[in-house]
Amino acid sequence: MKTLLLARHAKSDWGDPAVRDHDRPLNARGLEDAPTMAARLNAEGVPLQHIVSSTALRARSTADAYAAAFRLEVADEPKLYAASARSILSVAASLPDAVDVAMLVGHNPGMADAVAELTGQLVEFPTCAVAECAVDIDSWAELIEGSGRLVTLRTPR
């Protein structure tokens, strides 16, 4: 059994239109929500072992909050930036098999679409939401559309 946590980055700052999309930081709410959600998962005993993040600043900053709470490193994955569901699940399928609980941090609509493809469930996916998906597989390479089930969707509000 594997657990895949699909996380959307926290709320980003749209205040400076000159900032490229990839370089947009978190806003004040995002800077509060990311560590709060990370602490919540940690307090709930989620045994997170591995974090992979989009290279966008807002996603990486969100992933860093989880990494701090779980004392983990973040692996950057450029394929997660503005990724489709298929690309997200492809990244998940390449995770190391020694990892049983992994988190991918990225963007919508890809993350919501990935939950739908993996579990068959449509979900509202606000900023900083985390979908916990159980997948009955021994190897991440076995991950395919429809192979998971949504355990819970956590949101910051």
> 124 falls in which pLDDT band (50, 70, 90)?
very high
Which whole number is the average pLDDT over 80-109? 97
Q: Is the dihedral of CA 18, 22, 24, 25 positive or negative?
A: negative
Host domain of residue 6: 2-154
How many Å separate Cα 119 from the centre of its chain? Answer: 15
Structure confidence by residue, pLDDT tens digits, 110-121: 999 999 999 999
- Whether 84 and 52 have beta carbons less than 8 Å apart is answered as no
- Express each pLDDT in 130-143 by its tens digit: 999 999 999 999 99
**CATH code at 123?**
3.40.50.1240
Short-list 88, 90, 134, CA closest to 107? 88
93 pLDDT more than 90: yes
Domain count, the chain: 1
Closest CA to 88 of 38, 31, 133: 133
